[in-house]
Structure 1
């Protein structure tokens, strides 16, 4: 019985890892068959763990949100107050450029992660980063978490556009950061 559970856990992890790769490469429109093939499991195994594609997408979005929130929390605790918000913002946008699911998540992507609104998991640590940056005098006082989240979402979506190059990313981020700075 314990061996069966261990095998099931390993299969689940392989499926999630494969799904992250497949959906990062192809976006939410990728098929569960592609995920099964990449994980080297039968499609039935995928559906035993995740009865619907939406369940699978929800699971990878939750993992991604947890990682991003942990990174934001770590920066809030250990990062320089003057730069941590900007570093996190840059990291999320770079992730969006590399992973289509990040931008789809930040845009609300229609994925039911069964935790409420997808961004709520990031709102608190981003709010902490913002508060620390404002207390350090690095960000304008009138900027609120809603504005930061809206900018983060919009910029992450822009990272998917054709023609989004490192140069365009850098110029866009500089304009945003100039607008946020005190």
Structure 2
């Protein structure tokens, strides 16, 4: 996981151009070039939405999938931060899930601006919320599953959970050798 976070932070620091970092190589006397260390995976996003966030300041940020029908919305209402998954093909009630991100009063550095990124997987079916390069929530529209660091609130389906699932981050990175 640390490898993913490092890669994510690096890619956003260099402008998210998708270029992998320079490979570390060693050359022997016979001109054989070998990779000396494994390269971290590259971010594979179809859409990236970037905003500056001040916790506790009313904010709404919407990000649309390339699929057209799916959206995610981050909202800070001044008391709490939530990440919503929406299906716009359901106009009577498009919100299909809500994931709690924070209670404003519990955020110790709430007075400092934060960088928020919403990224979509290459297939446009999964969205993730990162704040200051740290993943806080993922929603997988393909599976109808969401997870967040707080695990709250319980989903409507009593057999499911919103507990954090680290494996959901793999959808946002591409293996360079594939």
Q: Per the shorter chain, which TM-score range?
A: under 0.3
| Greater fraction of residues in helix | 1
| Greater fraction of residues in strand | 2
Query: How does the TM-score come out when normalised to structure 1?
Result: 0.22
Larger relative contact order, structure 1 or 2 (CA cutoff 8 Å, min sep 6):
1
